[in-house]
Chain A
């Protein structure tokens, strides 16, 4: 067995970590992680959050995905957070994620939706705003649905809904006719969903368009003409590998013509 010689976590921030790498955390003298606390104890302030791609192992963290290690220093409400920024194209359903799905089957009261995961998600016909047993939503096989996961874990079939917890649609539901659906990597989606994303701002100065981003790597675009739609699709797909300068160059050329 390999001796787990850990590296201090702070030293690895911004560097590549591989699955199995042990990262040591600075020891806190007042933290007694071995003793399991019984009874209700509020989460101590300053507790470190172990984010995606990491797992607690003994006194430190073990990486379970390969990628760059990121750190958010302590501040505000909670303590600091460590996570691994990894790149992947295959989506794994997570509860609460908003995704774009394609309806593949209609069986009685349930729709089967392809979300790009290992299983088809189920969508009840009552999970739309204003849907009742008499007033069914008009969903056909092949329609695009923007919804969020109510149930998503590795042991059960994922369940999609198109309403939020208060019963309102809040932007979810059947995506309209026309437009173009394509797939990108999950890392690009996260970049596009960041607040004040430069790519979206620059593109919106080019042409007006409608955009739906699904956390499962799917993007739906609709602009006034087919040509404009395809141009936006090509730019978004190329954003994966273009630097900011190359992108600005490409957009300048397009708005010039």
Chain B
């Protein structure tokens, strides 16, 4: 009887982000034109290996797209809710957008290392040093907040 060679893949199939899905990602670097992120969760399921995503400057906000400054919307280390708008080609990353009220920065740390409190859709404040920082803040639906 001949030996059988088989290839075993991982037990569970990886959940792939689809166009229109809301994903949770962490910003890893910013540029004058776009922000690069690591996609951590698709909906509420964590991913075993992170995917890379890009949020272009014109996809950060829905209004006044030409006045957007990436530095005033995201910083490296922020946790962001975004929506997938394109899967990209073979080499490029997922293209994401935060151009909605419910999308944007959810968790951000200030320079002092303390988690900041949102005070408006474009500002967050550090509770220890009282400095205000600019971010594109997400208006999270009340049912998703846990206090």
Contact = CB atoms under 8 A, between A and B. Distances in A.
Interface of A: 33, 36, 38, 55-58, 151, 153, 155-157, 159
Given A151-B71, A153-B71, A155-B76, A57 B129 contact: yes
B117 A36 contact: yes
A56 B129 contact: yes
Interface string B95-135: 00000000000000001100001010000010111110000
A36 B125 contact: yes
B75 interface: yes
B128 A57 contact: yes
A161 to B, nearest CB: 13
B31 interface: yes
B85 interface: no
A58 B122 CA distance: 24
A146 B98 CA distance: 39
Given A36-B125, A155-B75, A156-B70, 17 more contacts: A36-B117, A36-B119, A36-B127, A36-B130, A55-B111, A55-B112, A56-B130, A57-B112, A57-B128, A151-B32, A155-B29, A156-B30, A156-B32, A156-B71, A157-B31, A157-B32, A159-B32
A56 B31 CA distance: 29
Contacts of B127: 36
A256 to B, nearest CB: 54
A155 B129 contact: no
A156 B119 CA distance: 25
Contacts of B71: 151, 153, 155-156
13 contacts: A36-B117, A36-B125, A56-B128, A57-B129, A58-B128, A151-B32, A153-B71, A155-B71, A155-B75, A156-B30, A156-B70, A156-B71, A159-B32
Given A155-B71, A155-B76, A156-B31, A38 B129 contact: no
Contacts of B32: 151, 156-157, 159
Contacts of A57: 112, 128-129
Q: How large is the interface on B (under 10, 10 to 19, 20 to 34, 35 or more residues)?
A: 10 to 19
Interface string B59-76: 000000000001100011
A55 B112 CA distance: 9
Contacts of B129: 55-57
Contacts of A38: 119
B128 A33 contact: no
Contacts of B125: 36
B101 to A, nearest CB: 19
Interface string B23-40: 000000111100000000
